[in-house]
Chains A and B, each alone.
Chain A
Amino acid sequence: MSGHDHPQAIGGKMLDPLMKILLAVFGVSALVMAYRFVTGIGSVSNMTDGFTWGIWEPINVVVFTGIGAGAYGVGLLCYLLNKGQYHGLVRPAVLLGAIAYTLGGSSIMIALGRYWNAVTLPIVPWWNLSSALLEVAVCVMMYVMVLWIEVLPAIFDGAAQSKSPRWSAIGKRWGARMAKAMPYIIALAILLPTMHQSSLGGLYLIAGPKLHPLWHTALLPTLFLVSCLSMGYGAVVVLVNILRLNWNAKQDQALFASMSKVNAGFLLLYVVLRLGDIVLHGKLRFLGADFATFLFVVEMALFIAPAVMFVMPGVQRNRGKLFGAALLAILAGAVYRADTYMTMYRPAGWTADGKSIAAGWDYFPSVGETIVTVGMAAVGMAIFVFISRLFPVVVVDQGKKSTIGRGEVRAASGH
């Protein structure tokens, strides 16, 4: 392991003020959830038969897992393209992914009307393989397990460093066993998100006439796959920046710069695909002085701006600017996903010239719905803090004259 920095447990007081706030927010949302299970979804949300998914699916599942895709993106670089210098980012990214996906999965259980029947989901002969949602459900459940298995090396590592000889022995033995199995688990951890992130886009293929023509395309699966990567890389940069500010986590700016150049590639690929699709299918006529065009232009700007920033040396060198660009990259994917799932969805559909057809439904998220979403995000942060304090996840900067390996020194000096 000489080429890599060693992550270490952060330690410190568990119930600090931040933790107390996060748990309090989650507590409030747990009350709302409990109320929902007694009185029905309609009593805490503004969801209707017209806007049946509200914000829980679009935000808690589709946006959260996009943020969690950092594990997928870093895994792709580190293991598949063998860029060993990204090793230090793997554990935080995987933990973020495991938490984001777990929250996405739990949010589904709250959103499902007949959640008790979900126990029948593992019955393979009942699977309707035509359903994109079934693909997402099965794939996400498997991926959540895979992600927590990927977190295990950090836990075993922590046990191995423990003072108790018993824990230490267990950690060492299982750590070694895990290391052997890891390549096969990592391959699964790359395959599964490729499948379900594209299926998340594929979900809305069926919505056809209900989705605005500028958003409805056969490329939905591809666009969702590309946007999860741009969100994921952005999320890793943002996460490590926050960890540096709070816990003095090691942040290799040159590494971020090269990862962000990859991200610029994905952001631009998205823009090229989206624009190319619209031009080739003669959808330019839907652009005009209306809300749809405004949103479309906002989305394009949100994808282009971070892409341009990521390739500028001034941004690459500057922590704050790169952090800002990464935030924009997350926002771009999040807005695209929310627009597809909510903003540009109309139950009665759109006319041939792109005007929404009036229906008896309007939607704006209720306070209860929003609290559940915020509470889920809060408990996610709390779990991240909890695990990072107890187990070696984050690589901490040991000081200016560090013992960092030669690989990183080379990376830091050259761009």
Chain B
Amino acid sequence: MTISRRDLLKGAVAAGAAVAIPATAEARHEIEPLPDAVGMLFDSTLCVGCRACQSACKVANKLPEDKVEANGGVYDAPNDLNSTTKNVIKAFPAGDTQHYMKQQCMHCVDPSCVSVCMLGALHKEGEGKRDFKGEKKGTGIVLWDKWTCVGCRYCQIGCAFNVPKFEWFEAFPAIVKCELCRHRRDEQKSGPLAVANPACCEVCPREAVVFGYRKDLLAEAKRRVAADPQRYNPHVYGEHDGGGTQVLYLAAAGVQFHDLGLPDLPERSQAEFSESVSHAPYLYGVTPIALYAAMAFVINRNKKKEEAAEHGEEGKR
């Protein structure tokens, strides 16, 4: 009455199959940038760190100050993105100078947060699970919906840029992140301003950050690099990184993006990898149903066999 080698072997074969299936998984197709996706281009060689964008963001999004007391005064001085800061300027020492970096939601082409969000609270504009009125399709802006978010914070695990923030000290907390000032759009205007109008881009005195269609911004970034190759790192961060982002970055020549706080990411998006591996064994839902039917059959048969055996034994007594 012990477990026979045959049983163990059967188990090993089943386990082997479970391992082999993900390996031969058909990859979920790669997501391309939407043709009319909007985004921003940040040129760190132009930013002087005035933080006008930071203040304008707080005003535009009605966010409270992140009060820091120093030298007998109180300042709005966030040191990172947080539940009251959707946009932040950080200084990174590089070589003999200082480089400034702007951080906010990257509005990824294939966002991890959207991939993991249980009920589509985080979704690309117009492509949520709920019926969203007034959302345009095709802008690629990642929005948050307060009616379907359960506050599980899986988006924070998924986001490689650590963008979504949570209100830790609220009884009824929200997820806070940049939505590209979609609420400041002007339907009367044409082009990207009819879609959104980021306060940070509007206020920037040096046009270090500009708003527009992603395809135009990408062309502009490449034009700048080609026009002055001495000045720029030839890599346009966000063209392909992490599957591509709608916010693009330029850095000075010789400065690596990871030295400016942007992670080194493969070209394949993490969402594509995760979904391919997770979905493969399900075969579009066939596996669970087939497995259930097979197991119900075997268990039923075993039960009948056992009942027959028991009656047999009782009969012998």
Contacting residues, chain A, for B79 (C-beta < 8 A): 360
B82 within 8 A of A: yes
Q: Which of A40-48, A154-162, A242-250 contacts B (4 or more CB under 8 A)?
A: A40-48
| A118 with B171, Cβ < 8 A, contacts A206-B271, A352-B264 known | no
Inter-chain contact A191/B171, CB cutoff 8 Å: no
- What is the distance, in angstroms, from A205's C-beta to the closest C-beta of chain B? 4
Q: How far is the CA of A210 from the CA of B306 in the complex (A)?
A: 51
A126 is contacted by which of B148, B279, B292, B313 (Cβ under 8 Å)? B148
User: Which residues from B are CB-within-8-Å of A114?
Assistant: 146, 149-151, 172-174
- A 200-235 binary contact with B (CB < 8 Å = 1; else 0): 001111111110000000111110011000000000
B283 within 8 A of A: no
State the Cβ distance, A316 to closest chain B Cβ, in Å: 10
A127 touches B129 (CB 8 A): yes
Judged by a CB distance under 8 angstroms, whether B254 is at the interface is no
In the complex the two chains form, is B129's CB within 8 Å of A128's CB?
Answer: yes
In the complex, chain B residues whose CB is within 8 Å of the CB of A169: none
CA–CA, A347 to B168, complex, Å?
A: 17
A-chain residues with CB within 8 Å of residue B152 when the two chains form the complex: 108, 111-113, 133
CB distance from B182 to the nearest CB of A (A): 21
Q: Provide the bound-state CA to CA distance between A115 and B46, in Å.
A: 44
State the interface size on chain A (CB cutoff 8 A): 95
| A255 shortest CB reach to chain B, Å | 8
Among B34-92, those with CB < 8 Å from A are 79-83
Number of A-B contacts (CB under 8 A): 239
Interface flag for A84 (CB, 8 Å): yes
Interface assignment of B226: CB less than 8 Å from any CB of chain A: no
The reply to whether B116 and A258 form a contact with Cβ atoms under 8 Å apart is no
Residue B137 CB within 8 A of the other chain: no
| Contacting residue for B150 out of A117, A194, A218, A359, CB 8 A | A117
Q: How far is the CB of B309 from chain A (nearest CB, A)?
A: 8
Q: Which residues of A contact B1 (CB under 8 A)?
A: 83, 85, 258, 407, 410-411, 414
CA distance A208 to B172 in the complex (A): 30
Q: Are B18 and A222 in contact (CB under 8 A)?
A: yes
- Is there contact, CB below 8 Å, between B305 and A206? no
Given A49-B166, A115-B151: A130 and B3 interface contact (C-beta under 8 Å): no
CA distance A123 to B119 in the complex (A): 9
- Interface membership of A349, Cβ < 8 A: yes
Q: A108: which B residues are within 8 A, CB to CB?
A: 152
Q: For residues 1 through 18 of chain B, which have their beta carbon under 8 Å from a beta carbon of chain A?
A: 1-3, 7-8, 11-12, 15, 18
Interface of A is mostly: helix
Is the pair A37, B310 in contact by a Cβ cutoff of 8 Å? no
Q: How far is the CA of A257 from the CA of B2 in the complex (A)?
A: 9
Within 8 A of B (CB), among A261-280: 261-262, 265, 269, 273
Instruction: Choose the segment among A74-82, A287-295, A379-387 that binds chain B (4+ C-beta atoms closer than 8 Å).
Output: A74-82
Cα–Cα, bound, A402→B43 (Å): 83
Determine whether the beta carbon of B292 is less than 8 Å from that of A131.
no
Write the A99-118 contact mask toward B (1 if CB under 8 angstroms, else 0).
00000000010011111011
**B29 proximal to A (CB < 8 A):** no
Q: Is the CB of B277 within 8 A of A205?
A: yes
B274 touching A132, Cβ below 8 Å:
yes
Indicate if the CB atoms of A48 and B295 lie closer than 8 Å. Answer: no
Give, as a whole number of angstroms, the nearest-CB distance from A121 to chain B.
Answer: 7
A20 is an interface residue with CB less than 8 A from chain B: no
Q: How far is the CA of A37 from the CA of B305 in the complex (A)?
A: 53
Known: A115-B151, A131-B115, A131-B118. A79 touches B299 (CB 8 A): yes
Q: How far is the CA of A186 from the CA of B12 in the complex (A)?
A: 22
A130→B12 CA distance, assembly (Å): 29
B292 contacts A187, C-beta separation under 8 Å: yes
* Assembly CA distance A114 to B153 (angstroms): 10
The chain A residue sitting closest to B128, CB to CB, is A126
Q: Is B162 on the interface with A (CB-CB < 8 A)?
A: yes
Tell me the chain B residues, 196-236 only, with Cβ under 8 Å from chain A: none
B194 within 8 A of A: no
What's the minimum C-beta distance from A307 to chain B, rounded to whole angstroms? Answer: 13
For residue A9, CB closer than 8 A to chain B, the reply is no
The answer for the CA separation of A352 and B180 in the assembled complex, in Å, is 32
B174 to A: closest C-beta gap in Å: 8
Hey, which chain A residues are within 8 Å of B263, CB to CB?
209, 348-349
- The reply on B120 being an interface residue by CB < 8 A is yes
Q: In the complex, which residues of chain B have a beta carbon less than 8 angstroms from the beta carbon of A2?
A: 310, 313-314
A134 lies within 8 A of B119 (CB): yes
How far is it, in angstroms, between the C-alpha of A117 and the C-alpha of B118 when the chains are bound? 11
Inter-chain CA distance A181–B120, complex, in Å, is: 36
Q: Chain A residues near B2 (CB, 8 Å)?
A: 257-258, 261, 411, 414-415
Complex Cα spacing A118 to B157, Å:
19
Bound CA–CA A83/B306 (angstroms): 10
User: What per-residue 1/0 map shows which CB atoms of B148-167 lie under 8 Å from chain A?
Assistant: 11111110111010101111
Q: How far does the Cβ of B173 sit from chain A's closest Cβ, in whole Å?
A: 4
Q: Please state if A265 and B11 are interface contacts (CB–CB under 8 Å).
A: yes
List of A residues within 8 angstroms of B153 by Cβ = 52-53, 113
A38–B18 CA distance with the chains assembled, in angstroms: 45
Contact of A191 with B292 in the complex, beta carbons under 8 Å: yes
Q: Is B103 an interface residue (CB 8 A)?
A: no
A187/B150 in contact, CB under 8 A:
no
Contact call A202/B277, Cβ cutoff below 8 A: yes
**A374 at interface by CB-CB < 8 Å:** no
In the assembled complex, the Cα of A265 lies from the Cα of B9 at a distance in Å of: 10
A202–B274 touching, CB < 8 Å? yes
Say yes or no: A37-B306 contact (C-beta < 8 A), given A118-B150, A131-B116, A209-B160: no
The answer to whether A27 has its CB under 8 Å from any CB of chain B is no
Contact (Cβ within 8 A) B18 A218: no
- Interchain nearest-CB distance for B258 vs A (Å): 8
Q: Which residues of B contact A135 (CB under 8 A)?
A: 278
Instruction: Please give the residue numbers on chain A whose beta carbons come within 8 Å of chain B beta carbons, in ascending order.
Output: 1-3, 37-43, 47-50, 52-53, 77, 79-85, 108, 111-115, 117-118, 120-121, 123, 125-128, 130-135, 137, 182-184, 186-188, 190-191, 194-195, 198-199, 202-210, 218-222, 225-226, 257-259, 261-262, 265, 269, 273, 345, 347-349, 352, 359-360, 406-407, 410-411, 414-415
Other than the given A3-B310, A49-B166, A117-B147, 18 more pairs (CB < 8 A) read A40-B169, A43-B169, A80-B299, A82-B302, A113-B150, A117-B149, A128-B120, A186-B299, A188-B292, A205-B270, A205-B274, A206-B116, A209-B160, A225-B18, A226-B15, A258-B1, A352-B264, A415-B2
Q: Provide 8 A-B residue pairs closer than 8 Å at the C-beta atoms, listed in order of the A residue.
A: A115-B151, A117-B150, A130-B271, A205-B273, A218-B23, A218-B273, A219-B19, A360-B80
